[in-house]
Amino acid sequence: MTELLRQLVAGPRARHAEAKLDLCYVTEDIIVTSGPAVTYPSRAYRNPLPRLTAFLHSRHKDAWRIFEFRAEGTGYADKDVQGRISHFPWPDHHPPPFAVLPRLMAGMQEWLGETAVERGDEARHKSVAGLADSKGSEDKGDKEDPKRVAILHCKAGKGRSGTVACSYLISVRGWSVEEALTRFTERRMRPNWGDGVSIKSQRRWIGYLDRWAKNDKKYAEMKVKIVEVRIWGRREGTRVLVRGFIQEGKKIKVLHTWKDSDCDDIKIGDEIKPSESDPSLVRDSGSLSSGAKDSSKSSPLPNRDEDSGNIPSGPGTPQSESSFKLPTTIANPNPLTLCILQPVEPLILPTPDINIEVERRNRTSYGIPSVVTSTAHSWFNAYFEGRGPERNGDPERTGIYSVEWDAMDGLKGSSRRGVRAVEKISVVWELLEEEDARKEEKVVQGIHKEKDEAQKEPMPGSTQGQDDVKNDEIVKPGTDSSNNIVEGDPKLPSAESDVEEGLQSYGIKGEQV
């Protein structure tokens, strides 16, 4: 029964035929598996950790090491795998902070040794069917001196693990992006069950790493300022969020939110030229041409007079078809809207990794909470969007990242985005030198200080400052004299409320905290 349950949970992922475990050999020395479990009920449908370690000992003796990527916690202690584990955690369904990848690649290469490149070139040309899923290196008499292997796992052993496996094949062994993605899909997925790495932002990161590897592997962590966000075709009830990594990439935090009421849409393309062969030119830069073409086709043109066969016109104008001229512009029945959002104070992210998210909610009445009908996000790295690798590590200081709705990641990185909330979104960014970043941060601190002083200063004619000050202590809003939260009063906003966290928390050694 448990085996059947594990097969159902594995779903589209291929299982190892001999070990009856949810794992695969991407190459002879790179193994990808789903996260193992030590306790029930997860042990009933996940790889039991004792069975996994027994398989690794029987196949590779002591020449194995685990590299795990679960920010939500492994669920087991390092001692359960004899300390043979390295931790590089980041949240599920997202790409890693790019700064993690160079360290991770170096750690894997150090473990696999200098011969990793040679074995990688050999495995690159082997057929998929003949790779190490049978007996592996044991059949070649390697029991006395087994080759080292790296075991990669996240939760399902797909998105995060696939990103790392492909990155290693590209950056260390010289595979192309297409070769690496194809190999991982062939080894990890059942036939015709989709891509191994399917999340668009993770695939974008693999493309970044390919450019990094081809240009002397230079990368610089720089702070980024969000200048403005532009939204084309925004629907009512849509809000926009800017998010970034915190705690060395273990968590994602909302750094700024524009509510629906903050958006002041401007109609663009109210008029179109019917004589233009490409109506998309009427709309502002980067708008969807398909929508423009549909609009131009549906635009009303002057009708011919059915009786005379001529085009009706004003008094004194000849009624001949040859004298008729198309109007310069005609009304567009479906004009596109543009909304430009700017932060009221400098919005600075600590790393070039930026996440832009849109969320649409349906308004309800009678006090019923609104329902989320759309959610989509996209990650990008300003260093690579500024062509840092191609400019010898000196990226362009400003740029624009644009992404259309259909190119964004949906719920849990899937294509399930819900009802269309926008047509396209663009982020205007600026990379900051350390000195410039400090100046901007001082500006932000000054704004916050002014706000705090304004809140403390009593309004003319009010009694604030007399009733609230007792024993030289300021009573905080929403608290009593002991600074306890008063029931019914609004709580002060908490930064943690905007942080995306895992289901459980574990220490770096796997212990639950």
Do 146 and 1 contact (CB within 8 A), yes or no?
A: no
Grouping H, G, I as helix, E, B as strand and the rest as coil, residue 25 is strand
Do 14 and 190 contact (CB within 8 A), yes or no?
A: yes
Is residue 285 very low, low, confident or very high in pLDDT (cuts 50, 70, 90)?
Answer: very low
- Asked if the model's pLDDT at residue 133 lies above 60, the reply is no
**Degrees to nearest 5, angle at CA 464 with 460 and 467:** 145
For residue 475, the model assigns a pLDDT of 36
Do 117 and 171 contact (CB within 8 A), yes or no?
A: no
Task: Report CA 393 to chain centroid distance, whole Å.
Answer: 24
Per residue in 198-209, pLDDT (tens digit) is 999 999 999 999
CA distances from 189 to 2, 12, 134, 227, 440 (A): 21, 6, 17, 42, 48
Integer Cα distance of 404 and 233 in angstroms: 11
Mean pLDDT within 107-112: 97
Mean pLDDT within 458-471: 47
Q: Is the Cα dihedral 266, 271, 276, 279 positive or negative? A: positive
Domains, the chain, ordered by start: 2-214 (3.90.190.10), 223-265+337-437 (2.60.40.1110)
Per residue in 339-369, pLDDT (tens digit) is 999 999 999 999 999 999 999 998 766 767 7
User: Which of 497, 499, 503, 412 lies closest to 72, judged by CA?
Assistant: 503
Mean pLDDT within 215-220: 96
DSSP 50-115: HHHHHHHHHHHTT-EEEEEEETT--SS-GGGGTT-EEEEEE-TTSPPPTTHHHHHHHHHHHHH-TT
Mean per-residue pLDDT over the chain, rounded = 76
- Asked if the model's pLDDT at residue 438 lies above 70, the reply is yes
Amino acid at 135: K
Q: Determine how many CB atoms are found less than 10 A away from the CB of residue 101.
A: 23
For residue 334, the model assigns a pLDDT of 62
Kindly tell me the burial class for residue 223, based on how many C-beta atoms sit within 10 Å of its own C-beta (0-12, 13-18, 19 or more). Answer: buried
Mean pLDDT within 160-173: 98
Is residue 4 very low, low, confident or very high in pLDDT (cuts 50, 70, 90)?
Answer: very low
User: Which of 364, 349, 45, 373 lies closest to 221, judged by CA?
Assistant: 349
pTM as predicted: 0.73
Mean pLDDT within 321-328: 48
